[in-house]
C-alpha cells in the first residue's frame, strides 16, 4: 500500500471520530457477550487482588491500579470489582476517562473491558458516544465481524448518528468498500441527521483505495442534505481534485472555502498554503501513475495526497503533527525528490518557524537522492508574493541567499 494513502487514512481516522468510535463483543446470536469472556471468575479476582497488594505503596486509585496491569490477559473488570468490594465508588465519568486514556495508550482490551463493566451495570445511563466507543474497540480487539454483530444487536434507539458512523469508520479502516457503501445507503435512508464526520469517512475511504472520482458524489450528497462541511471535508475534496491533476477544480474548491461563513484563521491559512502549492506548479502532469520509488509503488497521485496532509495540519497550526509527518516520511526508504520539499518548506514558512525552514533546506542540500533545486525555491518565493505574503517571501529569499 502506498505510504501517502496509508498515512492519510491513519491521521484522518484519528481526527474524524476518535472520540466517538468503539464496541463490544457480540455473539453469533446477536447478543452482547457476557463478562465471562474477560476472566471474571472468583479465582481470577482473588489473584488480581493479591497482585494489587504488592503495589499498595504506589498511587492507590482506580486508574493507577488498572494501568499497573502489565499483560492484556489480566482483567480490568476484576480490578474494578475489587475496588468496589473495598467500599469505593465508581462513577461513569471516571470510567469513561480511564477507558479513553487506555485507548490513547493502545491498550484496547482493557479499555473494552471497562466499557463492558459500564454496560453490565444498569445504574449507568450510557450515551451514544459510549456505544460508538465500544464499536471501535470491538473492531480493534475482536475484528470487524464482532463489531458488525454488536451494532446489529443494538436496540433501534441506539442506532444513532454516532454508532452508524462508528461502524462506517471500521469498514473504512479495513477498506471494505462494498460494506461501507451499503451502510452509507442505510444511513441515508435512516432519517437521522448526520454531520460532516460521516461523509468524511466515505471520502477518506475512496481516497485510500484510489477511487478519487467518487469523492465528488459524496460532496453532492453532503450538499443535498445541507450538511455543513468542515476543514477535513474541504481538504479531502481538494486532495481528490489535486490527485486527479484537476487544477481548476482545486482552485474552485479553495474559492468556495473562502466564501464559507464558517471560515476562520485556520481555514484561511490552509487556503493560502493550498494556493501556494498549486502556484508553485506541483500539479503538473508528469504521469499520474509514474513510479517515483523503487521498493514500493508510490505514484505522483500518492505524493500529492501526502502533500495535502502536511498542508492540512499546517493550516490548523499543528506544528507537532507537521513535524511528525515529515519525520515519518524521512525515516522511510522513499526516494525523495525536489517536489517533496515544497509543502514542508511552505508550511514551516507560513507558521513562522524559520529554524525548521533552514533545517529542511540543509536536509535537501545534503540529500543523496535529490539534487537541491534553487529554481523550485524561487518559485516558492514567487508564490508567497503572489498570495500576499511579501514579508515571508523576503525572509525566505534572504535565507536562501545566505545559505546557498
Q: What is the pLDDT of residues 69-92, one digit of tens each?
A: 888 888 898 999 999 999 999 999
Is residue 108 packed enough to be buried (19+ CB in 10 Å), middle (13-18) or exposed (0-12)?
buried
pLDDT band at 17 (very low <50, low <70, confident <90, very high): very low
pLDDT at residue 15 above 60? Answer: no
Q: For residue range 304-354, what is the model confidence (pLDDT) as tens digits?
A: 888 999 999 999 999 999 999 999 888 876 677 888 899 999 999 999 999
More confident: 107 or 292: 107
More confident: 42 or 368: 368
Distance CA 225, CA 207 (A): 22
More confident: 63 or 334: 63
Is the distance from CB of 361 to CB of 402 less than 8 angstroms?
no
pLDDT at residue 286 above 80? Answer: no
* Percentage of residues in the chain having pLDDT higher than 70: 80
Is residue 184 packed enough to be buried (19+ CB in 10 Å), middle (13-18) or exposed (0-12)?
buried
pLDDT at residue 163 above 60? Answer: yes
pLDDT of residue 306: 84
Q: For residue range 184-199, what is the model confidence (pLDDT) as tens digits?
A: 999 999 999 999 999 9
Cross-strand pairs, 177? none
Q: For residue range 169-224, what is the model confidence (pLDDT) as tens digits?
A: 999 999 999 999 999 999 999 999 999 999 999 999 999 999 999 999 999 999 99
pLDDT band at 283 (very low <50, low <70, confident <90, very high): confident
* Percentage of residues in the chain having pLDDT higher than 90: 67
Distance CA 150, CA 26 (A): 5
The predicted model gives 223-234 an average pLDDT of: 95
Distance CA 191, CA 205 (A): 23
Cell (9 digits) for 246: 484537476
pLDDT at residue 373 above 60? Answer: yes
Cell (9 digits) for 178: 462494498
pLDDT of residue 369: 78
The predicted model gives 29-58 an average pLDDT of: 42
The predicted model gives 55-71 an average pLDDT of: 79
Is the distance from CB of 117 to CB of 80 less than 8 angstroms?
yes
pLDDT band at 122 (very low <50, low <70, confident <90, very high): confident
pLDDT band at 62 (very low <50, low <70, confident <90, very high): very high
Distance CA 336, CA 262 (A): 37
pLDDT band at 32 (very low <50, low <70, confident <90, very high): very low
pLDDT at residue 10 above 90? Answer: no
The predicted model gives 247-251 an average pLDDT of: 93
Q: What HEC string does the chain produce? A: CCHHHHHHHHHHHHHHHCCCCECCCECCCCCECCHHHHCCCHHHHHHHHHHHHHCCCCCCCHHHHHHCCCCCCCCHHHHHHHHHHCCCCCCHHHHHHHHHHHHHCCCHHHHHHHHHHHHHCCCCCCCHHHHHHHHHHHHHHHCHHHHHHHHHHCCHHHCCHHHHHHHHHHHHHCCCHHHHHHHHHHHHHCCCCCCHHHHHHHHHHHHHCCCHHHHHHHHHHHHHCCCCCCHHHHHHHHHHHHHCCCHHHHHHHHHHHHHCCCCCHHHHHHHHHHHHHHHCCCCCCCCCCCECCCCCCCEHHHHHHHHHHHHHHHHCCCHHHHHHHHHHHHHCCCCCCHHHHHHHHHHHHHHCCHHHHHHHHHHHHCCCCCCCCHHHHHHHHHHHHHCCCHHHHHHHHHHHHHHC
pLDDT band at 281 (very low <50, low <70, confident <90, very high): confident
pLDDT of residue 20: 33
pLDDT of residue 315: 95
pLDDT at residue 295 above 70? Answer: no
pTM over 0.75: yes
Distance CA 21, CA 35 (A): 21
pLDDT at residue 29 above 80? Answer: no
pLDDT at residue 30 above 80? Answer: no
The predicted model gives 360-375 an average pLDDT of: 90
Amino acid at each position: 500500500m502506498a505510504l501517502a494513502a496509508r498515512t492519510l487514512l491513519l491521521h484522518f481516522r484519528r481526527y474524524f471520530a476518535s472520540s466517538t468510535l468503539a464496541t463490544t463483543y457480540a455473539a453469533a446470536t446477536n447478543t452482547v457477550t457476557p463478562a465471562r469472556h474477560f476472566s471474571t471468575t472468583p479465582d481470577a479476582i482473588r489473584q488480581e487482588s493479591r497482585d494489587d497488594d504488592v503495589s499498595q505503596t504506589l498511587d492507590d486509585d482506580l486508574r493507577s491500579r488498572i494501568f499497573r496491569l502489565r499483560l492484556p490477559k489480566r482483567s480490568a473488570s476484576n480490578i474494578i470489582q475489587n475496588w468496589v468490594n473495598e467500599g469505593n465508588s465508581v462513577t461513569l465519568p471516571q470510567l469513561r476517562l480511564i477507558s479513553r486514556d487506555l485507548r490513547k495508550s493502545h491498550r484496547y482490551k482493557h479499555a473494552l473491558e471497562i466499557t463492558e463493566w459500564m454496560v453490565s451495570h444498569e445504574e449507568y445511563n450510557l450515551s451514544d458516544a459510549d456505544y460508538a466507543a465500544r464499536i471501535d474497540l470491538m473492531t480493534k480487539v475482536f475484528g470487524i465481524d464482532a463489531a458488525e454483530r454488536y451494532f446489529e444487536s443494538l436496540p433501534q434507539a441506539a442506532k444513532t448518528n454516532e454508532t452508524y458512523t462508528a461502524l462506517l469508520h471500521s469498514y473504512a479502516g479495513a477498506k471494505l468498500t462494498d460494506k461501507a457503501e451499503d451502510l452509507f445507503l442505510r444511513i441515508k435512508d435512516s432519517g437521522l441527521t448526520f454531520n460532516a464526520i460521516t461523509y468524511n469517512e466515505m471520502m477518506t475511504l475512496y481516497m485510500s483505495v484510489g477511487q478519487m472520482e467518487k469523492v465528488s458524489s459524496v460532496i453532492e450528497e453532503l450538499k443535498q442534505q445541507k450538511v455543513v462541511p468542515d476543514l477535513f471535508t474541504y481538504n479531502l475534496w481538494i486532495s481528490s481534485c489535486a490527485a486527479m491533476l484537476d487544477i481548476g477544480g482545486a482552485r474552485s474548491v479553495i474559492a468556495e472555502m473562502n466564501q464559507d461563513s464558517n471560515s476562520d484563521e485556520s481555514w484561511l491559512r490552509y487556503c493560502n498554503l493550498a494556493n501556494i502549492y498549486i502556484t508553485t506548479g506541483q500539479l503538473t502532469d508528469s504521469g499520474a501513475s509514474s513510479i517515483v520509488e523503487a521498493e514500493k509503488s508510490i505514484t505522483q497521485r500518492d505524493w500529492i495526497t501526502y502533500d495535502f496532509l502536511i498542508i492540512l495540519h499546517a493550516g490548523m497550526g499543528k506544528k507537532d503533527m507537521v513535524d511528525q509527518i515529515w519525520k515519518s516520511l524521512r525515516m522511510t526508504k522513499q526516494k525523495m525528490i525536489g517536489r517533496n520539499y515544497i509543502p514542508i518548506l511552505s508550511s514551516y514558512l507560513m507558521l513562522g518557524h524559520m529554524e525548521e525552514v533552514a533545517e529542511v533546506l540543509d536536509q535537501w542540500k545534503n540529500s543523496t537522492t535529490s539534487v537541491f533545486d534553487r529554481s523550485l525555491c524561487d518559485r516558492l518565493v514567487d508564490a508567497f508574493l503572489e498570495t500576499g505574503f511579501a514579508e515571508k517571501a523576503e525572509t525566505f529569499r534572504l535565507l536562501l541567499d545566505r545559505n546557498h
